[in-house]
Amino acid sequence: MKKLLPLYFFAAFFFYTKGFAQEESSGHHQTLGVSISHVNIFNGVDNSENKLISLPAWGIDYNYWFNEKWGLGLHTDITVDKFTVDENLGDDAPLERSFPIAPAVMGMRKFGNHTIMFGIGGEFEKEENLFLNRLGYEYGIEVSEKWEVGAALNYDFRWNAYDSYTISIGVSRVLN
């Protein structure tokens, strides 16, 4: 998984610099957004009991739109808490997580104010890194030519570990 991290940053840098060479009339544009979120984990461990846990998180999203409908983005969730989960594998040992960062490269399709997203990425944490797939939905409202507010729902499938869903609200700025 550590070998994929440079790929994420290269993709973000490539699409960031490529966007400056485009003219606004081409339909290409970039956005940068920040959101406040709650990550909800079904098989969290609290006082030796399995239960749904809800944790605070931040989201930082960079998007490059090829046209009005199709885009590619780097969406990063940063959970700002320590927690323990039972793995999906049913092992007796719980999995300890401490302030994990979960970037994912997302393909996006826009339908008016609605956006559907699917991507791959990883969850990076000091003890163990995990591979994930992310499925998402976002509803955004343009408040001016350069600003948009939105709400999103994402579901992360962490392979051989645990799943979570994230509810977030945020604001995005059009960069060009």
**DSSP state string for the chain:** -GGGHHHHHHHHHHHHHHHHTS-GGGS-EEEEEEEEEEEEEEEEEETTEEEEEEEEEEEEEEEEESSSSEEEEEEEEEE-SEEEE--TT--SSPEEEES-EEEEEEEEEEETTEEEEEEEEEEB-SS--EEEEEEEEEEEEE-SSSEEEEEEEEEEEETTS-EEEEEEEEEEEE--
More confident residue, 14 or 138: 138
Position 161 scores a pLDDT of 87
Q: Which domains, ranges and CATH numbers included, belong to the chain?
A: 2-20+29-174 (2.40.160.20)
161 SS3 class:
coil
Q: What confidence tier does 168 reach under pLDDT thresholds 50, 70, 90?
A: very high
**Which of 3-12, 27-36, 71-80 tops mean pLDDT?**
71-80
Task: Report the mean per-residue pLDDT for the chain.
Answer: 86
**Which residues have C-beta within 8 Å of that of residue 169, sequence separation ≥ 6?**
35, 36, 149, 150, 151, 152
The pTM of this model reads 0.81
Report whether pLDDT(25) > 90: no
Report whether pLDDT(19) > 60: no
Q: What percent of the chain has pLDDT over 70?
A: 81
Report whether pLDDT(14) > 70: no
More confident residue, 57 or 14: 57
Position 44 scores a pLDDT of 80
